[in-house]
Amino acid sequence: MDWVEVGKGIPSKAFHKQVASSVLAVLITTAIFATAAYSSNTNFVFNGFNGAGLLLNGGGAIEPNGLLRLTNFTRNEVGHAFYPTNFRFINSSSGEPFSFSTSFVFAIVPQYSDISSQGIAFAITPSTNFASALPSQHLGLFNLTNNGDPRNHIVAVELDTIQNKEFYDINDNHVGIDVNGLRSTASAPASFFSDSQFKNLSLISGEPMRVWVEYDGKSTVFNVTLAPLSVPKPEQPLLSSKINLSSIFLDAMYVGFASSTGTAAGSHYILGWSFSLNGKEEEEISLPLLPSLPPITEDENGNGEAKKATKLLNILLPIAIALLLLPFAAFVIALLIKNKRKYAEVVEDWETEYGPHRFSYRDIYRSTRGFSDDNVLGHGGFGEVYKGLLTKSKLEIAVKRIAHDSRQGMKEFVAEIASIGRLRHRNLVQLLGYCRRRGELILVYDFMPNGSLDRYIFGRPEESLDWTQRFKIIRGIAAGLLYLHEEWEQVVLHRDIKASNVLLDARFEGKLGDFGLAKLYERGTNLHTTKVVGTLGYLAPELSRTGKSTPCSDVFGFGAFLLEVACGKRPIELKTSGIDMILVDWVVEFLKKGEILETRDRKLGGNFSPEEVEMVLRLGLMCSHPVPAERPSMRQVVQYLDGEVVLPELSMEQLYAFDSSSRRYRLVAGDDMSCNSGTVPTLPSSSSSSSSK
């Protein structure tokens, strides 16, 4: 029962034969998922599952149209589909479980219209390892020995189509709430409330239906509601029961689905899924965007003549088609050989571990129209970037081609790409995956329709952004960088923060991109000396001596970014006299004169907040301090930008460190490679400059 992470998954119920196999959590290399690692997202919605990255095993699969198939007309089958990261379900301060809600659209299609094929369960579990779970009545969640064991810590909502007397099932068409076992805490016949009464539903009708599951952590009320897809959410739930889950939930729990078949086969599908934790507003499933169920063929329990005709057709039709296609066989084979050579790519045995993050070269080639010059978006770090449109999902993507040595360090680099692909933050450009072919590596990102920020900072005045837009982008990039440094399970160093690496989506939200230079290292480990990489003007001075990138060197690059966004100038600009102008030195000189606002971008006009502009300029200087220990951490930076903490000032002694003549101070004081985690140094007030504006 091998796990794969692509978007395919499924569960099942009964057959006393243990399904043994190894659990392979793709994209989770080594033991990264310790108890302390949780998903940073507290809600999600999938309208179809292409690109969802679910953890799947058993008979699970994602159909080309995005439909999640849990079983596939196979007897005694089991499968699972889980969201790839776990969530914190317990409030650490109060010990109470968090409230949560989920909604999903499902369909159960039996092989024979009047014979049930077990069911589906939405499950909240401490692990995604169900290698010992049984199919049939055990729903792929339990087995003969652990059913009912309080150590399971499992909560499930079952959609059961078989009556099992051993579990005290009320009938063969019911919905139940299960805690640690298959004997339901509460259950009811499948039905929905309408016109002041409950109306019956058949779970094996083959028609899509929708389920709402809601739990209030304060009142401990657990509600389950069922309805046909065409009916809005009923006012009254099908099940409502008080269940205290504080002793059931562990700190970290996974959410997903389990499904199984027994002696009768069937296909179980999930069309869409939304989830929200801790009171966060649940995103609504968009019904028009849901994938369609496959057409239902004539079942095998028809009457005499129809059954015979169907069998005869099933025999003769393939023969007729084969005879008709025979003259074209040679042509088709030749075409396939030609296409295989055209789309040949480099695939090694170790890459099966990263399968879910690998795109086929054929899909990438077609999405970019053969890497057409008309699709070129620009030149990023290490290679050209193309716009693409994936044919099946209609997803717009950005494709970067990078030349590489096909052997040297590639396994480690692909592992890093897979890890980075699991980063989830609204202010980071999502890395979707990769592809390798001959002498190049291809990276696939979300497409950002408004391009890079430098176009609006250094481009034509009519394309410039106002201060409100710039400040919003600055805060967003700060939040994204804080996530990389402190809020993910590993520390991620970007190492090339600048306006050209900040991309803008359709709403001009800033997203930090180009992780080609990112360097991961485990928290608490020693930093390794690496090749100094980045862009001149954004590189921290200590890198030239130590070659060691740190969160502090990222903060220095962020300081340069703050100054270029506020001033509309690059960190190093060539004057007409042929002498380089160093932006940070230029701003320091105006600060010393009490006129720091004079350094603002003149394209802002008079429509800006003097307090915010001055704060950003001063913060840019603090982040650009030549001594690493004098720079704030990204957490402090976010607090300053959000107004949670008042920005301190720098003293004249600290300003002296910026002077190009003070090399001695920089080299001696710069040996401490850690950012300031406490009070930030002080900078002289320029209230006179503020009041004069």
Token pair, residue 327, equals: 């003259």
Is 496 catalytic? The answer is yes
> What's the pLDDT score for residue 10?
36
26-56 pLDDT, tens digit each: 333 333 333 333 445 688 999 999 989 999 9
Taking the chain (693 residues) in runs of 10, the rounded mean pLDDT of each run is 42 38 36 38 89 90 92 87 94 91 94 79 94 87 91 95 88 94 94 91 93 95 96 94 94 94 87 90 87 70 49 76 75 65 55 65 90 85 83 89 62 71 88 79 90 90 90 97 92 90 94 66 47 71 86 95 96 74 92 94 92 96 93 96 91 71 41 58 38 34
Would you call 219 exposed, middle or buried from its count of C-beta atoms within 10 A (0-12, 13-18, 19+)? exposed
> What's the pLDDT score for residue 677?
62
Q: Name the residue type at position 132.
A: S
Cβ atoms of 26 and 46 within 8 Å: the answer is no
357-380 pLDDT, tens digit each: 678 888 999 999 989 999 998 875
What stretches of 529-609 show up as alpha helix (H) in DSSP?
A: 543-546, 551-567, 583-592
- The residue from 169, 496, 514, 554 that is catalytic is 496
* DSSP SS3 for 47: coil
- Long-range Cβ contacts of 404-409 (<8 Å, 24+ apart): 404/439, 404/440, 404/441, 406/346, 406/436, 406/438, 406/439
Cβ atoms of 498 and 560 within 8 Å: the answer is yes
* Distance (Å, whole) CA 62 – CA 68: 5
**CA distances (Å), origin 688, targets 593, 619, 684, 693:** 10, 18, 11, 9
> What's the pLDDT score for residue 37?
38
User: Residue 578's CB: how many other CB atoms inside 10 A?
Assistant: 6
* Distance (Å, whole) CA 60 – CA 442: 28
> What's the pLDDT score for residue 559?
96
Tokens 């652990």 belong to which residue? Answer: 146
Cβ atoms of 106 and 244 within 8 Å: the answer is no
Tokens 């994938």 belong to which residue? Answer: 291
Cβ atoms of 560 and 539 within 8 Å: the answer is no
All domains of the chain, ordered by start, with CATH? 4-282 (2.60.120.200), 311-342 (no CATH), 349-446 (3.30.200.20), 454-691 (1.10.510.10)
Per-residue exposure over 144-164, b if at least 16 CB sit within 10 Å of its own CB, e if not: eebbeeeebbbbbbbbbbbeb
> What's the pLDDT score for residue 353?
58
400 labeled part of a ligand binding site: yes
Q: How many CA atoms lie within 13 A of 88 on its CB side?
A: 15
* Distance (Å, whole) CA 435 – CA 343: 11
Token pair, residue 21, equals: 């196999």
* pTM (global) more than 0.85: no
**CA distances (Å), origin 433, targets 356, 399, 413:** 8, 10, 12
> What's the pLDDT score for residue 352?
57
Residues in the chain: 693
